[in-house]
Amino acid sequence: MTGIVSNAQVVISVVDLAKSFEDAEGNPVYVLDGVTFDVLRGETLVIMGGSGCGKSTLLNCLIGEYDINAGKIAYRTKGMDAAVNIAGMNERKLNGIRKRIGILFQSGALFNSLTVSENVALPLQEHSYVDRSIIDIVVTLKLQQVKMLGHRDKFPGQLSGGQKKRVGLARATALDPEILFYDEPSAGLDPVTSTAIDELMMDLSKKLQVTSVVVTHEMDSAFRIADRMIMLEHGRVLKLGRREEFEALRDAKPQELNTDTERLIHQFLTGANQGPLTDTDGMSEFEKLIVSG
């Protein structure tokens, strides 16, 4: 996606988003501070960063689970004449937006007391008014898409980690969402299974023509699936750009990097044990950037 981006291409617009939690003394600690970016229709946007950088908090803000302190999160799904800000929106209206999105949680978040097919059917039963026979057809189609139809009568406890992710993805797509959110989809999976899940995500994105937002710290997965990438650090956007820009930083030699930001991103992407992220002499390079900014 190059050139001028029109408003019609923007599905989610995040502007100056801030989110804090109280510490033990009741003082606000900002986990997100001034986060701004757009999500473009049809793309896969990967949000990455180290532990505690704010990426999971950002995901929860995007789906309306957390109230925000300041800023805007505006959705413009199909049929909307203008973007709608969900910040401060009441639960009834927010649920209307949520029907247009699907979420694959880190653990799969399946109900252990329900079979695979019952888990996938649940969103249809809760949020649609179609007959049981139609729900059965949709469940069959969704399980076929993730290659889990043969396991439809099993319970989650009988599935492997990768199989649970597949069923979770089938459930996330049950209502044919426009936007899919993924929370650490490769977490806890071996490399082969992780690659298979990535390929499934890319295949579904193409077939279903959905917009995908993926939170991950798995770099192999991120570079496989991303169109664009955001790197967060200390609750701020350190860099937003196309995958190729991050690949260039990852593959550059340290002496070719011109700025502290580039050196920090390079260290994170390569996992090097020396660099700004592990600087123990005074402030880290990122802290210096915060102070100077």
pLDDT of residue 264 exceeding 80, the answer is: yes
Q: How is domain 8-100+179-247 classified at the architecture level of CATH?
A: 3-Layer(aba) Sandwich (3.40)
pLDDT of residue 42 exceeding 70, the answer is: yes
Of residues 230, 293, 227, the one with CA closest to residue 55:
230
Distance from C-alpha of 96 to C-alpha of 86, rounded to nearest angstrom:
11
Distance from C-alpha of 231 to C-alpha of 7, rounded to nearest angstrom:
23
Average pLDDT over residues 152-156: 95
Average pLDDT over residues 188-213: 89
Q: Is the dihedral of CA 26, 32, 33, 36 positive or negative?
A: negative
pLDDT of residue 286 exceeding 80, the answer is: no
Helices assigned H by DSSP within the chain:
55-62, 91-98, 116-127, 132-145, 161-172, 191-208, 219-225, 243-251, 260-270, 285-292
The reported pLDDT for the residue numbered 108 is 63
pLDDT band at 186 (very low <50, low <70, confident <90, very high): confident
The reported pLDDT for the residue numbered 282 is 41
- The pair phi, psi for residue 25, each rounded to 5°, is -90, 0
Least confident range from 26-35, 67-76, 122-131, 149-158: namely: 122-131
pLDDT of residue 157 exceeding 80, the answer is: yes
What mean pLDDT, rounded, does the chain reach? 88
pLDDT band at 39 (very low <50, low <70, confident <90, very high): very high
Q: Tokens for 56?
A: 């999971």
pLDDT tens-digit series, residues 54-80 = 999 999 999 999 999 999 999 998 888
Residues in contact with 138: Cβ distance below 8 Å, sequence separation at least 6, in sequence order: 121, 124, 130, 174
Q: Where are the domains of the chain?
A: 8-100+179-247, 111-176, 252-293
Q: pLDDT: is 195 or 1 the higher one?
A: 195
- Is pTM, for the whole model, over 0.95? no
Most distant CA pair in the chain: distance in Å? 66
Average pLDDT over residues 202-209: 87
pLDDT tens-digit series, residues 48-59 = 998 888 999 999
